[in-house]
Structure 1
Amino acid sequence: MIVTGYKATRARKLTPGEKQANRVLAAAHAPVGHGFAHLKTWRILTKLRTDPTRAPPDLLRALPVLSNLELSR
């Protein structure tokens, strides 16, 4: 399931509830994004950028674990 935020248009502004939902979603996405940024700076994901099928199975199992650890901090 993919959860996306609300988007305002020129004709329709966001309601306070939609703004709050976007803030909650952003707060949940930020730690995961920061975790992947750290992995990229450590050069762990360099091979995945070119061909995800070349990723070692250990790395693929470790990524969700690291993401969950980052979320729990």
Structure 2
Amino acid sequence: MIVTGYAAGRTHKLAPGQKGANRVLGVGRAPVEHGFAHLKNWRILTELRTDPARATQLLRALLVLTNLEVHR
């Protein structure tokens, strides 16, 4: 399931509940987006030649280490 935020239009303003839902979604998404940005800057993903199942474990470990380093 993919969770997306609410979009406001020129004539359609967001209700307070929709704004709150977007805020909660953004708070949860920010650490993941920052983690992937760090991995892209390090160019780790460009030379990854391994089994996809193993790559998932490697990416999880790298994101944990990245978050530990960022919050240090």
Task: Give me the TM-score of the superposition, normalised by structure 2.
Answer: 0.71
Matched residue, 1:27: 27
Matched residue, 2:58: 62
Pair 1:24–1:9, CA change in 2 (3 A)? same
- Taking only aligned residues, the RMSD between alpha carbons, in angstroms, comes to 2.0
Determine the C-alpha separation between the residues in 2 that align with 1:23 and 1:40: 25
Deviation at 1:65, TM superposition (A): 4.4
Equivalent pairs counted in the alignment come to 64
Q: Which runs of 5 or more residues in structure 1 are unaligned?
A: 49-54
Deviation at 1:64, TM superposition (A): 3.5
Q: Which runs of 5 or more residues in structure 2 are unaligned?
A: none
**What is the percentage of aligned positions where both structures have the same residue?**
56
